[in-house]
Structure 1
Amino acid sequence: MMQEKGGRHSNPSESLYIDIPISEEAFEEMEVMLGPKVSPADKDAVREAVSAFAPSAHLKESALKIR
């Protein structure tokens, strides 16, 4: 769900999030794609999160080049 400035929601739902059950096997087969304009700090944060929560996941960088 998206939250707009001022705390209002773009969706009239009362929920701030939705929990979806995900199997452990999904984390083992997960692939995380980094966008072409990801900052070095964000790249490091994603690497740390993947290492901590899904160490068998594959981390890939986008082949797209944006000017």
Structure 2
Amino acid sequence: MSQSKPRLKTSAMIASIADEGQATIPAPFGVALSKLAAQRPEIVGMTADLSKYTDLHIFAQAFPDRFFQMGMAEQ
């Protein structure tokens, strides 16, 4: 009996492991945040070198002056 994989629903990491042709929703958080930020100028995006995996690369492209790359801070 073959077992089908569940339908995957998240961004870049999921797309990288999804089977060819398997439906995924591209960058849901980044798209939603960008839509909201278009209406609310106080919204900024901050990440620690994980923008691709948190979908903030979408926000960074739309609002480069409101995107902050903080880098890793392990102390």
Would the TM-score normalized by the shorter structure come out above 0.5?
A: no
Structure with bigger helix share is 2
**TM-score (ref. length: structure 1):** 0.36
- Between 1 and 2, higher relative CO (CA 8 Å, sep ≥ 6) is seen in 1
